[in-house]
Amino acid sequence: MSEKFDVIVVGAGPAGTACAYTCAKNGLKVLQIERGEYPGSKNVMGGVLYRKQTEEIIPEFWKEAPLERPIIEQRFWMMDKESTVSFGYKGLEWGVEPYNNFTVLRAHFDQWFAKKGVEEGVLLINETVVTECIVEDGKVIGVRTDRPDGEIFADVVVLADGVNSLLAKQLGFHNELKPDQVALTAMEVINLPKDKINDRFNLQENQGCTIEIFGDSTKGNLGTAFIYTNKESINIGVGTTLSSMIKAKMKPYELLDYLKNHPMVAPLLAGGESTEYLAHLIPEGGFRAVPKVAGNGVVVIGDAAQLVNAIHREGSNMAMASGKMAAEAVIHAKERNDYSETSLNSYREALYASSIMKDLEKYKDAAHLFESSPQYFKEYVPMMNQAMSKFFTVDGTPKKEKQKQIIKGFTSERGTFGVMKDLYRAWKAVK
Amino acid sequence: MEEYQGVWVFIEQSEGEIAGVSLELLGAGRQLADKLEVPLAGVLLGEKVRELSTQVIGHGADIVYLIDDPVLKYYRTESYMKCVNNLALKYRPEIFLYGATPNGKDLASAVATDLSTGLTADTTMLDVDVEKRLLEASRPAFGGNIMATILCKKNRPQMATVRPKVMKALPFDGVRIGEVVEEMIELSEEDMRTKVLEIVKNVTKAASLADAHVIVCGGKGMGDLEGFELIHELADTIGASVGGTRDVIEAGWLPHELQIGQTGETVTPKIYFAIGLSGAIQHVVGMKNSELIIAINKDPNAPIFEAATYGIVGDAFEVVPKLIEQFKQIRVKQGGEVSYV
Amino acid sequence: MHIVVCVKQVPDTKIIKINPKTNTLDRRSAPAILNPYDAHAVQEAVRLKSILGRGKISVLSMGPPQATEVIKKCIEIGADEGYLISDRAFAGADTLATSYALSKALEKIASVDPIDLVICGKHAIDGDTGQVGPGIARRLDIPPVTNVIEVSEVNSNDRTIVIKRKLSNGYELVQANMPCLLTVEKEINKIEYSPLSNMLKAARYKSHIWSVSDLGEVNITQLGLKGSPTVVGKMFTPPKLEGGKMLDGTSDEQVSQLMEVLLEQKELLNVK
């Protein structure tokens, strides 16, 4: 196999396709290699698609992309065993152009997105696994696939092969992920008729809602749960760091079953039919875990570069933005005909100058803080629920007296100083 | 179209032995012919098969159209098709049924093309609309839990292939009288473009499945290949054959010759265990005529319970090991050697 | 040797789900795939070509424009050329009208490069009829050999082929003159993992797409719905079987009730 491409992109998720698309649109000869039967086939789940980063690649994509519902409401639940404190925002302005975010089924969206790349000239091959990068004189010059006569060459190889990127590991960019750097998320798609979803979530046609749940959704472990509404199905998922799961001796599906049967959640799902179940690793390492992202003839993007915001559970937006930045670096490298690490480092610089890295940096301590201080999830969420219950229960006690009791409730468990310290640390970590 | 009259059945034979499905079709064809008040005919082709006419008539036919010629010794599409075409063009049947066997399907497809008429594949229910003289040939619709009735309104004959073992043959009646109409065919071996070199009758696994007295069939509910081991274990314990649903075969847990259902084998064992399978129509049509059907499934609403003689709502992984244990205890009581023979 | 393989794009019945309320197919969930039997047909053509050391493999399909996807799949397996006949006039065809349209396309392919062998899958998994292959053979007036489990010999000199054909209770060895048509079972071969060069070729491949007017002299009344003698009369759920006795109680109780039933039939069981 002597054929040579400008760029080989490994993986056809949002990151890989954003990169392949941008390169091809700028006239580069691009080969994209996907291991699944088709792009998205390995990902039966739904997720949130962010308008801004998608629009920067395909303007007005909402006019033709297979989207589920525009998200017009985001709710947050601090959930205890038999209660929940909720707040959120619902705005009709998110339901009209240019929208804010959307729910999507990845199998449909990824396929459509990859097709847009093919229309721009990307050569996409499926069902092919890249087993390693071919390295010569310290420079990546191509990839080896699992197919007969499976070597193929390029000036730049883009690694978009997902969170557990074997290729980045092989190049020594990654260390083996530590259990506290990845979250194990168990997700399920539950089919429900459109009318039922609209009624239960107080939505109208073409309106969607997301719920992020903290507290008892993870049995008090570090992590969150989520519920997203699709057109005729609901995505429900729960994730905690691998390390908490190991510590608590829990299996992902046990946690998901617990959540599905939770009295706050079960009525939303009643009568639904489970169709797909998936357990998935998500990098939660944040800023501290971002590996080397550029080398001689190679760049790493998306989940493979651990670009996920653990606190805000954003991934596909960073995936797309990093894909586009990497593409721009590759295009410049081609103009200079220089594919060295120094040249490709313009991607690294763009990445670190972007809001992606700033956000990741901002929250860099959050995961560690919550991991090492279980009281945030185990104690404060129940306390908050008790407080609200006391406050809203009509029993003849004056409101002022109630507030006193609430504060006493908080401080008696951990001491005034402990609570103050915790709150300050949490505020610093997420603010 | 009025000139087309009568119900015909293609009589498939191999080395002088009539296929079971052909006798079953004579039974089904008899009912259709009686409703339409027309004769029932069997089409018998082969070499030295004249004496089989008695059987064809004894199982319900009024007429046997016979062509006995050395060139017909083995089934070959080109020779058989030519005979059937000639007969159909001369005597004009309104309905023509074939067994859905490899040879029956092959022949019917070729004949339908030459006669430019409609053919319904793998039928499991037959009826007629007497007034319109329409054959109502029904089969499970693609993948679904629903049946589709296929009609052929404007072309004649109306043709269908019919699954073996779904219709009932009439008992042989030695005193029935019928007419044998013998025709000739002008075909010489030199005209033929195919030659049967050898026929090997082997007891393949599929054949043993069709003949098995006891079958343990597992479905997707067994979870994975490892879970499916439990099916093998039960079958081993009681000396049964193993079968699987379409899902199981697609998943590669069993070779395809062990598929039971519309696109696999139709089976009629004395005892049939349906374990961890829901009972989609395409499966049920392949096993519902089994004598004793025992269904084990977690879902109380699984349609398999409608086909079952006895049903157990429960987890196969809990129930089946207990069942195996019971049989093992019997063995121990009997000194570990005696088996039920 | 020129081998033409007829293929069909079908919904993946492995994945497709039934809506329990309407009893109809939930097509949302079913991706379109190359009919699995047809994949084996293409693979067999590739195998024969490599044994003979020369030859050309064309694939032919009928369907909507997106059916070019399955032609690409065939190129991945190793086909050289792909033709799709796609036209509204073909819509609603039953097996008779389908074999007519495909045979017209085969005649056109043969007019440029004579065909020695046509291979089809045993049947398509969305219809399970197995009637189109033999129908094509009749229309081209070539001998059909159905249910093929092995191609044992190909003699290019005297233009014959020896085939193992599956029967209800065994198999037969058949010799056929070429050109002829085979329909193949899955056990005929294993789908090979194609080389990377095939994948690249397939990704770039543009199928020939023909409409009715490209097929030369065609009798329009024999195409599509018009040319299809069979119609679906009605759809219905089959009469419910009565169902039997449900065995109640704990699993131990259920098993002991079942044992009672089974021990009545003990002469059938061969307990080991």
Cα–Cα distance, C221 to B248 (Å, whole number) = 42
3-class SS of residue C168? coil
B272-291 pLDDT, tens digit each: 999 999 988 889 888 988 88
What is the predicted pLDDT for the residue at C42? Answer: 98
Is C75 within the bounds of a domain? yes
- The residue of chain C with its CA nearest to that of B264 is C128
Interval A15-65: pLDDT, tens: 999 999 999 999 999 999 999 988 988 665 668 888 888 999 999 999 999
% of chain B with per-residue pLDDT over 70: 94
Q: How many domains, in total, are found in chain B?
A: 2
Q: Say if C257 falls within a structural domain.
A: no
Looking at the structure, tell me whether residues B82 and B14 fall in a common domain.
yes
Domain that holds residue B248: 205-333
- What are the CA-CA distances from residue A59 to residues A54, A97, A322 (Å)? 8, 12, 17
How near does any CA of chain C get to the CA of A187, in Å?
Answer: 18
Which chain C residues contact residue B207 at CB under 8 A?
168-170
The mean pLDDT value of chain A amounts to 84
Residues 6+ positions from A114 with CB-CB distance below 8 Å: A12, A17, A20, A32, A34, A38, A39, A40, A122, A124
Determine the pLDDT at residue A310: 54
Return the SS3 of C237. Answer: coil
Predicted confidence at residue B335, as pLDDT, reads: 45
Q: Are residues B241 and B130 in the same domain?
A: no
- Which residues of chain B have a CB within 8 Å of the CB of C135? 109-110, 112-113
Among chain B residues, CA nearest to C147 = B102
> pLDDT by residue (tens digit) across C67-126?
999 999 999 999 999 999 999 999 999 999 999 999 999 999 999 999 999 999 999 988
| Residue of C151, C142, C103, C147 lying closest to C121 (CA atoms) | C147
d(CA A46, CA A187) in angstroms, rounded, equals 9
Residue of C nearest to B121 (CA): C129
Residue in chain C lying closest to A144 (CA): C196
Q: Which residues contact C234 (CB under 8 A, 6 or more apart)?
A: B148, B149
Q: Is residue C27 part of a domain?
A: yes
Residues B267 and B152 in one domain: no
Whether the predicted pLDDT of B19 surpasses 90: yes
Residues in C closer than 8 angstroms to B201, CB to CB, are: 167, 169-170
Domain shared by B115 and B239, yes or no: no
Contact in structure between B39 and B62 (CB atoms under 8 Å):
yes
CB burial of residue B159 (10 Å; 0-12, 13-18, 19+): buried
Nearest to C200 among A37, A123, A148 (CB): A123
Looking at the predicted structure, is the pLDDT value of residue B340 above 50?
A: no
Substitution target in C99, C139, C225, C255 with the highest count of B β-carbons within 10 Å is C255
- Chain A touched by C249 (CB under 8 Å): no
Chains that touch A (3 or more CB pairs under 8 A): C
Answer with the residue of higher pLDDT: A316 or B51.
B51
Question: Cβ–Cβ of A151/C31 closer than 8 Å?
Answer: no
Model confidence at C149: pLDDT above 90 = yes
pLDDT at A431: 46
Residue of C nearest to B13 (CA): C168
**pLDDT at position B204 over 60:** no
Which of C38, C33, C32, C36 has the alpha carbon at shortest distance from C6? C38
Of the partner residues C123, C144, C267, the one whose CB lies closest to the CB of residue B340: C267
* pLDDT-above-70 percentage for chain A: 83
> Contact, B122 vs B112, CB < 8 A?
no
Inter-chain residue contact C268 with B314, CB threshold 8 Å: no
Banded pLDDT at A220 (limits 50, 70, 90) = low
CB A223 within 8 A of CB A241: yes
Instruction: Looking at the structure, tell me whether residues B157 and B279 fall in a common domain.
Output: no
Q: Which residue has the higher pLDDT, A313 or C40?
A: C40
Interface list for A 26-45 with C (CB within 8 A): 31, 37-38, 41
> What pLDDT was estimated at residue B341?
30
Pair B244, B170 in one domain: no
Query: Judged by CB atoms within 8 Å, which residues 234-253 of C form the interface with B?
Result: 234-238, 240-247, 251-252
Same domain, B219 and B149: no
Q: Which residues of B touch C191 (CB under 8 A)?
A: none
Residue A255 CA to residue A278 CA, distance in Å, equals 13
The pLDDT score that the predictor gives to residue B250 is 85
Reply yes or no on whether the pLDDT at B337 is more than 50: no
Q: How confident is the model over A328-375, as pLDDT tens digits?
A: 999 999 999 999 999 999 999 999 888 777 776 666 655 555 556 666
Q: Using one digit for the tens of pLDDT, what is the confidence trace for C44-58?
A: 999 999 999 999 999
B68 and B144 in a single domain? The answer is yes
Most confident of A276-280, B70-74, C13-17, C259-263: B70-74
Higher-pLDDT residue of A378, C15? A378
How many contacts (CB atoms, under 8 Å) link B and C? 279
CATH code at position B242: 3.40.50.1220
> Residue B263 to residues A72, B165, C146: CA-CA distances in angstroms?
48, 14, 16
Query: Residues of C with CB below 8 A from A146's CB?
Result: 193
Q: What is the CA radius of gyration of chain A?
A: 23
Q: Which chains touch B (3 or more CB pairs under 8 A)?
A: C
Highest mean pLDDT: which of A40-49, A278-287, B257-266, C159-168? C159-168
Mean pLDDT score of chain B: 90
User: Strands, E, within B166-283: which ranges?
Assistant: 179-182, 194-201, 214-218, 241-244, 271-275
Global pTM value: 0.82
Same-domain check for residues B244 and B150: no
A1/C203 touch (CB, cutoff 8 Å), yes or no: no
Residue B199 lies in a domain: no
Please answer yes or no on whether C244 and B341 come within 8 Å at the CB atom.
no
* B228 and B157, same domain (yes or no): no
* Tokens, residue B242: 């193993």
In chain C, beta strands by DSSP E: 2-7, 9-11, 17-18, 25-26, 32-34, 56-62, 81-85, 117-121, 144-155, 160-167, 170-177, 180-184, 208-210, 230-236, 245-246
Lowest pLDDT segment from A419-428, B10-19, B95-104: A419-428
Tell me if B341 is assigned to some domain: no
**Do the beta carbons of residue A339 and residue A155 sit within 8 Å?**
yes
**What does the pLDDT look like over A133-165, one tens digit per residue?**
999 999 999 999 999 999 999 999 999 998 778
Q: Which residues of B are annotated as a binding site for FAD?
A: 245-246, 259-263, 276-283, 297
User: Closest chain A residue to C26 measured between Cα atoms?
Assistant: A191
User: Which residue among C165, C241, C254 places its CB closest to the CB of B306?
Assistant: C241
pLDDT band at residue C154 using 50, 70 and 90 as cut-offs: very high
Q: pLDDT higher for A393 or B200?
A: B200
Domain that holds residue C158: 2-222
The predicted structure's pLDDT at residue A78: 85
Using the Cβ of A151 and the Cβ atoms of chain C, whether some distance falls under 8 Å is answered with yes
State the number of CA atoms in the 13 A half-sphere of C147 facing the CB. Answer: 22
Asked if C119 and C41 touch (Cβ cutoff 8 Å), the reply is: yes
What is the distance in angstroms between the Cα of C195 and the nearest Cα belonging to chain A? Answer: 4
Task: Indicate if B213 and B177 belong to the same structural domain.
Answer: no
CB pairs under 8 A between A and C: 39
Chain C, window 147-186: residues with a beta carbon less than 8 angstroms from a chain B beta carbon: 147, 162, 165-177, 180, 186
What is the 3-state secondary structure of B152-167?
A: ECCCCCEEEEECCCCC
The reported pLDDT for the residue numbered B34 is 97
Strand bridging mode A182-191 / A101-105 = unpaired
Q: Is A123 in contact with C204 (Cβ distance < 8 A)? A: yes
**Cross-chain Cβ contact C204/A125 below 8 Å:** no
- Inform me whether the C-beta atom of residue B330 falls under 8 Å from chain C C-beta atoms: yes
Express each pLDDT in A156-202 by its tens digit. 999 999 877 889 889 988 777 677 777 777 888 898 999 999 999 99
Whether chain C has a CB inside 8 Å of the CB on B116: the answer is: yes
C-alpha–C-alpha distance, residues B286 and C128, integer Å: 14
Same structural domain, B119 and B221: no
Pick among A125, A130, A190 to test the C interface (most C CBs inside 10 A): A125
> Chain B residue closest to C139 (CA)?
B113
Token pair of B11 as six digits: 């009589």
Q: Determine the topology of domain A179-283 in CATH.
A: D-Amino Acid Oxidase; Chain A, domain 2 (3.30.9)
Q: How confident is the model at residue C206 (pLDDT cuts 50, 70, 90)?
A: very high
Are A229 and A221 in contact by the 8 Å Cβ rule? The answer is: no
pLDDT band at B339 (very low <50, low <70, confident <90, very high): very low
Q: Which two tokens stand for residue A302?
A: 């998306």
Distances (CA, A) of B228 to A374, B223, C251: 42, 7, 20
Percent of chain A with pLDDT over 90: 47
H/E segment holding residue B276? none
Determine the Cα–Cα distance for residues B273 and B296; give it in Å rounded to an integer: 8
Rounded to 5°, angle at Cα B161 from B157 and B166: 130
Mean predicted confidence (pLDDT) in A269-286: 76
Per-residue pLDDT at A414 exceeds 90: no
Rounded to whole angstroms, the Cα distance separating B247 from B254 reads 10
The CATH number given to whatever domain includes residue B169 is 3.40.50.620
Name which of B8-12, B205-209, C226-230 the model is least confident about. Answer: B205-209
> Quick one: pLDDT at residue B153?
94
Contacts of A350 (CB under 8 A, 6+ apart): A325, A328, A329
* A4-68+101-176+287-363: CATH number: 3.50.50.60
Which residues lie below 8 Å from residue A360, measured CB to CB, with a gap of 6+?
Answer: A286, A287, A290, A307, A309
List the CATH number of the domain containing C73: 3.40.50.620
Binding residues of B, by number, are 245-246, 259-263, 276-283, 297
Between A343 and A396, where is the model more confident? A343
**C269 to chain B: which residues are within 8 Å by CB?**
214, 238-240, 271, 327, 340
Q: Which of C29, C199, C203 sits opposite A147 (nearest CB)?
A: C199
Chains B and A touch (3+ CB pairs under 8 A): no
Domain regions of chain A by residue span: 4-68+101-176+287-363, 179-283, 367-430
Query: Tens digit of pLDDT for each residue in C178-191?
Result: 999 999 999 899 99
Phi/psi for B100 (5° steps) reads -85, 60
Q: B86 falls in which pLDDT band (50, 70, 90)?
A: very high
Q: Do A149 and C194 touch (CB under 8 A)?
A: no
Tell me whether residues C196 and A1 touch, CB distance under 8 A.
yes
